[in-house]
Amino acid sequence: MKRSLLPATVPLVMLLAACSGASDNAAAPEPAETMMPVEPDGGVGDGAGPPEGLGTPAIPAPFYGVWDYVDGSCAPESDLRIEIRPESIGFYESLGELTAIDIASPDDITVTLAMEGEGETWDMQRRFVLSDDGATLTPQPVGEESFEPMPLKKCE
């Protein structure tokens, strides 16, 4: 008779043992199941933004706006007029999408642009230097490109 009770009591004893001391371990999720919070911009939920260099490059705000040659009219048809936005620069009959930027100081940047205009595409680098008062912007050549820097005024 002892033999018939033994098989029935073993599962009962194992069930009780599993319920009694294992409750602390059962509440903790397995490491593979732990959720990691993610912020809206894709950063880890620790308050940090994306790692350096992985975000989209952007031109600093003091450079934004419409600029034209200091003696220009600021009219859309002015051939020296440019429009600077965070990720692009519009020139007369062409548009450059920002692909890289080197910020030497708050008033001195060099941009690399993927240009498109009049059915053609090309890459261009251009340096832009703001005056101390932020009212004048001077484009300057980079590398082998050569032109006389012509100061631009900010248009209203």
pLDDT band, residue 14 (cuts 50/70/90): very low
The domain limits of the chain are: 61-154
In this structure, CATH architecture of domain 61-154: Beta Barrel (2.40)
Residue 51: its pLDDT value, please? Answer: 52
More confident residue, 23 or 90: 90
Instruction: Give residues with Cβ within 8 angstroms of 35, minimum separation 6.
Output: none
pLDDT band, residue 145 (cuts 50/70/90): confident
The predicted-structure confidence for 22-78, as pLDDT tens digits, reads as follows 444 555 555 444 444 554 544 445 555 445 555 678 999 999 999 999 999 999 999
Contact 114, 88 (CB under 8 A): no
Quickly list DSSP for 12-35. Answer: HHHHHHHHHS-HHHHHSPPGGG--
Residue 93: its pLDDT value, please? Answer: 94
Q: Which of 13-27, 38-52, 81-95, 137-151 has the highest mean pLDDT?
A: 81-95
